[in-house]
């Protein structure tokens, strides 16, 4: 009986951890170097001086989708993306735990 309650406690703890992740967004953040529209800018003459731009990419219906992330929202997007990856790991842990339970029955 103690084994069953210990298993139930672990199961509850794992499932509860799923709700504590916070805001999420699916996708990967990447930096792209771009040329701006200003004809006198240094980015036109020196390729090493291109301006960085952040994008969030993800797959949707087998196609890559891209979303520009303004600098003002970069920290938020990074956090949400990390939270999504953390959530996926937690889901994997719960799934592995449940598979072990099913095998033992």
Q: How far is the C-alpha of 6 from the C-alpha of 2, rounded, in Å?
A: 6
Which pLDDT band, with edges at 50, 70 and 90, does 1 fall under?
very low
Strand 28-34: give its sheet, edge to edge.
28-34, 51-60, 63-69
Q: What angle do CA 6, 10, 12 make, to 5 degrees?
A: 115
Does residue 74 sit in helix, strand or coil?
A: helix
Average pLDDT of the residues in 13-33 = 88
Is the pTM higher than 0.85?
A: no
- Provide the mean pLDDT of the chain: 88
State the average pLDDT over residues 89-97.
Answer: 88
Tens digit of each residue's pLDDT (9 = 90 or more) over 34-65:
998 898 899 888 888 899 999 999 999 999 99
Instruction: Work out the average pLDDT over 17-25.
Output: 85
């Amino acid at each position: 009986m103690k084994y069953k309650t210990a298993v139930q406690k672990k199961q509850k703890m794992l499932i509860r951890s799923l709700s504590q992740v916070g805001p999420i967004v699916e996708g990967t953040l990447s930096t792209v170097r771009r040329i701006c529209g200003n004809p006198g800018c240094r980015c036109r003459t020196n390729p090493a001086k291109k301006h960085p731009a952040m994008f969030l990419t993800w797959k949707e219906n087998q196609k890559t989708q891209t979303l520009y992330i303004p600098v003002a929202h970069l920290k938020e997007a990074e956090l949400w993306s990390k939270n999504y990856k953390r959530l996926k790991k937690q889901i994997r842990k719960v799934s592995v735990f449940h598979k072990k339970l099913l095998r033992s029955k």
